[in-house]
Amino acid sequence: MKFFPCFGFLLLFFYNVSCSVYSEVADENLPFSYQPSGWKRVFEKMLEKKRSLPFPFFSNKNDLSEFALCAICDVAMSVILTERGFDMTKVQIEAQLQYFCSSFLGIEDDRVCEGIIDVNADAVLYIMDNTKDTVGSTQICSQLLDCDVGSKYFEWTIGDLKGKTVDKVESTGEKTFKIAHITDIHYDPNYTEGKVLKCGEPLCCQPDQPDATADQTACGRWSSFKDADSPLRLLNAAIDGINEQDYDYVYFTGDLVAHTVWKTSQEYNKKTITEAMDLFAKKFKKPVIPILGNHETHPVNLYAPLNITDDSINQKWLFETVFDKWSKWLDEEAKETIKQGGFYSILLKKGLRVIVLNNNAAHKENWWNLYDSEDPYGQLKWLVQTLEKAENNKEIVHILSHIPSSSCMKVWSREYNKIIERFSNTIAAQFNGHTHKDHFSIYYDSKSVANNMVINGASVMPDKANPNFKIYTVDSTGYDIMDAEVYSFDLEKANNDKIETIKWEKLYSFANEFGVSKLVPSELDALIKRMADGIKKKDYTLIDLYHKFYYRNSKSSQAKCDETCQKKYICEILTTVHGETSMCDNLWT
């Protein structure tokens, strides 16, 4: 039983890596929001070992219910919390974790386990040691597995919002301009063609991994289908592809750093960010509005509160790097807040304000929320003030944030939705990244009326789809998105044919294919009802189209999307508060 206390640590450490791009148990056919969490994978590994574990409740693997998982979590966490007083040094703990990770549970291989433990150790131990008196097993399991979701844990509010939203400024489409959207590049400077694609580590195509033999699939010239990031030539091709289009601004919604999450460092991430932002500055012909992703920080996902003054575990280095690298596109007002947490606002043109959030801090996978979850960096408070100012100045707003609000802490996403409702007519559109999939979501007010929308940029790195960027036609009066065009190319064909220059093709126009005149909440709401009605009547035209574009017509698009998968697509569109699924539940009852 001596090793048992380590489970708690083990879980905290492994979540980060197992939740990243690598997911053996992931069903190819489930929308992003429904991929099993990395946690389930860890617990499944534990259950496979159940005979050697002191968990009596399970007789077979089918018992893996939510309840069972929460029970395991609670027991493991309670023990670790009770026994934390043990005088275990960091070195002892690391050694035991290493044993559990590689030898005992076989979650990753030796070097990945060692790396992931090493990069996470200081921050996770700090959080553990400094939440002794306040954080219990129930809270931890609530954040990890949504056990007891909606409970009193992490409860706070930004308070009541005064006033009502202004009248909507209609978009007529008479005068428009273009915005290019590029996201989730995951630039991998070490990407190596010819390595074995199924490498068994969280990221493949690395120089120190084996070469592919004749009967194995090799990493291609332009990146590869799964567990491969973007080589420099793909990043260059994406910028060149956008430059061939007409555009006035570029929105970049985060994730520059590769998925080598077991060997990131402040230095390495800083280098990647610097290199990529210098390339943007050199090549893009128009201003860029950049934001932070959950991969920009080190270790991945962890954004510490500002009062954590230890520079080895806080993000001072990151905020300073982006302050420097983004400054050529920003004005004094925008620069004021970047070092306070990586967020800012900028008047893009007369009448249009862009608000950039660093909502990675509110991401469910940011363990600092166990330490202090209340309105990270004071961003929501600042958001309200900034929206009030915009409203008074008769400006329309676009909000850019990396993580879909439904993947943030429940309390944060609830308060965020409250703000969206209050300012719904000031905010014309929101833009996300992170999921690597082409989708959108609709925000609803307390009376279930659609009041806002968010569109996802999908990704440049493939992640089971074809690389893409988007070009939006935006109305010059109401700043609604009139159309979203998606540009992509056939990755497998480009690799097989050893193409020298990528020719980006227009995959589709959202307005044409889905029959809307503009991407506004009311029209998207009507579209989703048509889609859902189609499913009920077994007319799958619209949902099949959605499935095809979700993966940019790659081989994942050919995999069948059955009724469960179809309904989950609809629910993903209708969910903007974490765990709050009543909008979609009502649709099927």
Distances in Å between the Cα of 145 and the Cα atoms of 6, 402, 445 are 18, 22, 27
- DSSP states of 347-380: EEETTEEEEE--GGGGBTT-THHHH--SSGGGHH
Q: Is 295 annotated as a binding residue?
A: no
Minimal distance, residue 414 CB to ligand NAG, in Å: 20
Q: Which residues within the stretch 244-263 sit at the binding site for ligand NAG (CB under 6 A)? A: 260, 263
Angle formed at CA 388 by CA 382 and CA 393, multiple of 5 degrees:
125
- Of the pair 32, 100, the CB lying nearest Zn ion is at 32
Query: Using the rule CB under 5 A, is 293 a contact of Zn ion?
Result: yes
Minimal distance, residue 295 CB to ligand NAG, in Å: 13
Q: Which amino acid is at 249?
A: Y
Q: Which residues within the stretch 260-299 sit at the binding site for ligand NAG (CB under 6 A)? A: 260, 263, 268
Distances in Å between the Cα of 478 and the Cα atoms of 167, 175, 423, 424, 496 are 11, 10, 14, 13, 45
- Of the pair 179, 203, the CB lying nearest ligand NAG is at 203
Cβ(141)–Cβ(147) under 8 Å? yes
First CA to last CA distance, the chain: 48
Q: Is 360 annotated as a binding residue?
A: no
Minimal distance, residue 258 CB to ligand NAG, in Å: 7
Report what 268 binds from Zn ion, ligand NAG, none; CB cut-off 5-8 Å by kind.
ligand NAG
- Provide the H-helix boundaries in 219-291: 232-243, 266-283
Minimal distance, residue 295 CB to Zn ion, in Å: 6
Helical (H) or strand (E) element with 344: strand 344-349
Q: Which residues within the stretch 237-256 sit at the binding site for Zn ion (CB under 5 A)? A: 255
- Of the pair 205, 528, the CB lying nearest ligand NAG is at 205
Cβ(226)–Cβ(209) under 8 Å? no
**Which one of residues 52, 85, 207, 214 is an interface residue with ligand NAG (CB under 6 A)?**
207
- Of the pair 85, 207, the CB lying nearest ligand NAG is at 207
Report what 317 binds from ligand NAG, Zn ion, none; CB cut-off 5-8 Å by kind.
none
SS3 content of the chain, % helix, strand, coil (to 5): 40, 15, 45
Q: Is 439 annotated as a binding residue?
A: no
Q: Is 392 annotated as a binding residue?
A: no
Q: How many CB atoms lie within 10 A of CB 361?
A: 30
Q: How many CB atoms lie within 10 A of CB 98?
A: 17
- Provide the H-helix boundaries in 199-265: 232-243
Minimal distance, residue 412 CB to ligand NAG, in Å: 15
Minimal distance, residue 356 CB to ligand NAG, in Å: 24
Burial 118-152 (b: 16+ CB within 10 A, else e): bbbbebbbbbbeebeeebebbbbbbbbbbbeeeee
- Of the pair 293, 521, the CB lying nearest Zn ion is at 293
The backbone region for 513, taken as left when phi is positive above 0, alpha when psi lies in -120 to 50, beta otherwise, is: alpha
Query: Using the rule CB under 6 A, is 305 a contact of ligand NAG?
Result: yes
Report what 202 binds from ligand NAG, Zn ion, none; CB cut-off 5-8 Å by kind.
none
Query: Using the rule CB under 5 A, is 227 a contact of Zn ion?
Result: no
Minimal distance, residue 191 CB to Zn ion, in Å: 16
Burial class (CB in 10 A: 0-12, 13-18, 19+), 232: middle
Distances in Å between the Cα of 297 and the Cα atoms of 107, 119, 141, 272 are 23, 12, 24, 11
Q: Which residues within the stretch 518-577 sit at the binding site for ligand NAG (CB under 6 A)? A: none
- Of the pair 139, 358, the CB lying nearest Zn ion is at 358
Query: Using the rule CB under 6 A, is 55 a contact of ligand NAG?
Result: no
* Rounded-to-integer distance, Cα 256 and Cα 54, Å: 42
* Rounded-to-integer distance, Cα 360 and Cα 259, Å: 16
Q: Are strands 249-252 and 288-290 parallel, antiparallel or unpaired?
A: parallel
Report what 173 binds from Zn ion, ligand NAG, none; CB cut-off 5-8 Å by kind.
none
**Which one of residues 272, 294, 321, 345 is an interface residue with Zn ion (CB under 5 A)?**
294
Q: Which stretch binds Zn ion (CB under 5 A): 127-135, 289-297, 315-323, 525-533?
A: 289-297
Report what 184 binds from Zn ion, ligand NAG, none; CB cut-off 5-8 Å by kind.
Zn ion
- Of the pair 135, 427, the CB lying nearest ligand NAG is at 135
Q: Which residues within the stretch 427-456 sit at the binding site for Zn ion (CB under 5 A)? A: 434
**Which one of residues 108, 229, 296, 372 is an interface residue with ligand NAG (CB under 6 A)?**
372
- Of the pair 136, 189, the CB lying nearest Zn ion is at 189
Backbone dihedral angles phi then psi of residue 554, each to the nearest 5 degrees: -90, -170
Minimal distance, residue 465 CB to Zn ion, in Å: 12
Cβ(207)–Cβ(190) under 8 Å? yes
- Of the pair 241, 254, the CB lying nearest Zn ion is at 254
Q: Which amino acid is at 103?
A: S
Residues 6+ positions from 143 with CB-CB distance below 8 Å: 153, 154, 364, 367, 369, 370, 409
Q: Is 496 annotated as a binding residue?
A: no
- Of the pair 125, 545, the CB lying nearest ligand NAG is at 125
Query: Using the rule CB under 6 A, is 208 a contact of ligand NAG?
Result: yes
Q: How many CB atoms lie within 10 A of CB 498?
A: 9
Q: Which residues within the stretch 152-191 sit at the binding site for ligand NAG (CB under 6 A)? A: 190
Residues contacting Zn ion: total by CB under 5 A = 5
**Binding annotation:** 184, 186, 255, 294, 402, 434, 436
Q: Which residues bind Zn ion (CB under 5 A)?
A: 184, 255, 293-294, 434
Q: Which residues bind ligand NAG (CB under 6 A)?
A: 190, 207-208, 260, 263, 268, 305, 307, 372
